[in-house]
Amino acid sequence: DAKTTQPPSMDCAEGRAANLPCNHSTISGNEYVYWYRQIHSQGPQYIIHGLKNNETNEMASLIITEDRKSSTLILPHATLRDTAVYYCIVNAGNNRKLIWGLGTSLAVNP
Amino acid sequence: NAGVMQNPRHLVRRRGQEARLRCSPMKGHSHVYWYRQLPEEGLKFMVYLQKENIIDESGMPKERFSAEFPKEGPSILRIQQVVRGDSAAYFCASSPQGVGYGYTFGSGTRLTVV
């Protein structure tokens, strides 16, 4: 079973920030938090990952709470093309299988 | 730098036939993973391979399914004697050696069994 809990769906207005929450209260000390998204049955796309510190790249920001039991993915200026299912996964680094939940279906509205 | 290449994109097989799905990882990636996705469901892990080795096949059905990643050439997921329940999207991902990298996924193969 997936070790994360996400809301099944969210809406966001185009141009606004989309904040996607994820709970991972049983995360272990050596587990990273990964975010992927899947746009309409395409192959999943890696977004960002982090261990303890907040991370930012050209796609998004990842905010991890100090106790590491939850995190938030932030898309700073959502566009219609960001409409997708977003998956939060905890995993002890690379070279291991990923356990996928059902993710959050984000709808960006014009 | 090409991404993960999967072919074919769509595959139709009659019940009882064999399906062969191919995956070429990104250049420099030595680890390959196969996942299956049924309609309206999340991805399910099937198998994790390195060159010439199966590392974890805990998600593979015990019968009819096999996977390989030879020294030369793409990784192959083979499904023998397909049944309608095998109809799904099959995704391949690759990663480099090491900790903390994200996977790169291919576009998937949509298998339809008629």
Write out the DSSP string of chain B: ----EEE-SEEEE-TT--EEEEEEPPTT--EEEEEEE-TTS-EEEEEEEETTEEEE-TTS-SSSEEEE--SSS-EEEEE-S--GGG-EEEEEEEE-SSSSPPPEE---EEEEE-
Q: Which residues in chain A are closer than 8 Å to B10, comparing Cβ atoms?
A: none
**B92 neighbors B69 (Cβ within 8 angstroms):** no
Across the interface, of B31, B89, B104, the residue whose CB is closest to A41 is B89
CB contact under 8 A, B108 and A46: no
E strand or H helix at A33, and its extent? strand A32-38
**The predicted structure's pLDDT at residue B41:** 83
Q: Which is more confident, B92 or A93?
A: B92
CB contact under 8 A, B108 and A42: yes
Residue A66: what residue type? E
Residue B98: what residue type? G
CB contact under 8 A, A44 and B43: yes
**The predicted structure's pLDDT at residue A93:** 65
Interchain CB contact of A95 with B (< 8 Å)? yes
Optimal mutation site among A35, A37, A98, interface B, most CBs of chain B within 10 A = A98
Residue A3: what residue type? K
Alpha-carbon distance of B106 to B43, in angstroms, equals 13
Q: Average pLDDT for residues B78-106, to the nearest whole number? A: 89
Query: Residue B83 pLDDT more than 90?
Result: yes
**The predicted structure's pLDDT at residue A40:** 87
**Closest residue of chain A to B30, computed from CA coordinates:** A95
Residue B5: what residue type? M
pLDDT confidence bin for A94, thresholds 50/70/90: low
Query: Residue B98 pLDDT more than 70?
Result: no
Tokens found for residue B81? 């004697």
The tens digit of pLDDT for each residue in B27-82 reads 888 899 999 999 878 899 999 999 889 999 999 999 999 999 999 999 999 999 99
Query: Residue B1 pLDDT more than 60?
Result: no
**The predicted structure's pLDDT at residue A37:** 96
Q: 10 Å Cβ neighbour count for A75? A: 21
Interchain CB contact of B13 with A (< 8 Å)? no
**The predicted structure's pLDDT at residue A8:** 96
The tens digit of pLDDT for each residue in A47-84 reads 999 999 899 999 999 999 999 999 999 999 999 999 99
